[in-house]
Amino acid sequence: MKDHSWDGARTDAHRLGTRIAAAPQTVPLHLAAGRILAADLVTAYPMPHCATSAMDGYAVNGPGPWQLLRAQAGNPGAGENLVLAPSEATAVVTGSLVPEGTTAILRVEHSRLEGGLLHGDRQLRLGADIRPAGTEAAKGELLARAGMTLRAGVIATAAVSGHDELLVAATPSVHLVFTGDEVIAVGHPAPGQVRDGFSPVLPQVVAALGGTVGSAVRIGDSLEATVAAIDSASARAANIIVTTGGTGFSDRDFVRAAVREVGGTEVVPSIAMRPGHPSMLSRLPGNRLLVALPGNPLAALMAVATLLDPMLRGATGREPARLRTAICAADFAPLPGRTRLVPARWIPGSAGPDALAPAEHVSPAMLRGLAAADAILVVGPDGASAGAPVSYLRLPW
């Protein structure tokens, strides 16, 4: 069995993810938060769609003084179509429709009334404090590209640009299988037991990556239990199954045998990476995918970044996460044939750019280092030198 390269594993995971993508869905704006935009968002009309006042004050026509037609601003939403003749003015508030004939807005703090005439204390430039139609965006202008995760700012912009609903990617469903006789979910572990670090966070991680957990099950270490867990009605209803633990090659590891038992095929049997070498990606009958994470916590989350993130990106119409470049703040000796994924934190630069240094406590069974990390260093088989460029991934969750 030959290990997949780290790059190859990401590529295959993304490719398979595209094969389970479902048709996009239309959702109202109030349900769009956290969804993946499936089509470019463009303005339905100019922003703003009409000329408005940028200040509280007076709309004026020509140089002053002006005959004040109205001392109190009308309701901005009333849609009145007032016309100003030369030397006339009317009160406006921020956001008011600018009357036809307006040449400028006189700010209230720069104005005074004398004998029914409005005066200004300074000369107004043509168009002062008028917000013309289309100042922010023209009709049809691009506001956000497909593939963006919809947050408050984009949703609010969609609303003011004329949209009531948005086309979003279908959300892949995920079935979680937590394995391990020694794993306990609550309380203090006895010698030989370990606390479950997966079930509290994997649903949140899946959601952050663009999926949703539809079901989950906890099982002991046996072939029968593993087969039942990945071939249950809940598992068959999901697009993706994610298992934790049991990915090794000992007589206590059953995920690989269970995949064969249900007619699955290993696509990525293992990855030339550290940590996370025994991670596995398989195809299952029914156009379903299985991502098998190692039992060690840090190794499992590095496998999430390697397999599950690109898979969910593919399934929601996005490109794989882009590798970025930073300055390395430590030396890494060569590790032939292996890509190392190292949780890292930013070190402020005194005379140059910030650099990434390995976090502390980053062995495969530890999570403490990842908790303090800002990114994931991607160190190739040739190693890296302090002060030289190094690749990294943003934390995907």
For 76-117, how does the pLDDT look when each residue is reduced to its tens digit (9 = 90+)? Answer: 666 667 899 999 999 999 988 999 999 999 999 999 998 879
Please state, in angstroms and rounded to a whole number, the distance separating the CA atoms of residues 101 and 111. 19
Q: Is residue 1 part of a domain?
A: no
The letter for the amino acid at 174 is V
Q: How confident is the model at residue 379 (pLDDT cuts 50, 70, 90)?
A: very high
Q: Is residue 239 part of a domain?
A: yes
338 shares a domain with 218 = no
Please state, in angstroms and rounded to a whole number, the distance separating the CA atoms of residues 347 and 392. 14
117 shares a domain with 96 = yes
Mean pLDDT within 269-286 = 97
The backbone torsions φ and ψ at residue 2, rounded to the nearest 5 degrees and listed phi first, read: -100, 135
190 shares a domain with 80 = no
Q: Which has the higher per-residue pLDDT, 364 or 282?
A: 282
CATH number at residue 229: 3.40.980.10
End position of a domain, from candidates 112, 147, 168? 168
What are 37's two structure tokens?
A: 């935009």
Using alpha carbons, select from 166, 176, 162 the residue that is nearest to residue 145: 166
Q: Which pLDDT does position 82 carry in this prediction?
A: 85
Count structural domains, the chain: 4
Please state, in angstroms and rounded to a whole number, the distance separating the CA atoms of residues 298 and 306. 12
CB–CB of 161/74 below 8 Å? no
260 shares a domain with 206 = yes
Please state, in angstroms and rounded to a whole number, the distance separating the CA atoms of residues 56 and 77. 15
Domain span at residue 303 reads 6-22+170-315
Q: Which has the higher per-residue pLDDT, 384 or 71?
A: 384
CATH number at residue 153: 3.90.105.10
What are 363's two structure tokens?
A: 């062995």
164 shares a domain with 175 = no
Mean pLDDT across the chain = 93
Q: Which tens digits make up the pLDDT trace of 225-273?
A: 999 999 999 999 999 999 999 998 888 899 999 999 999 999 999 999 9
246 shares a domain with 199 = yes
382 has pLDDT over 80: yes
Q: Which pLDDT does position 1 carry in this prediction?
A: 66
377 has pLDDT over 80: yes
22 has pLDDT over 90: yes
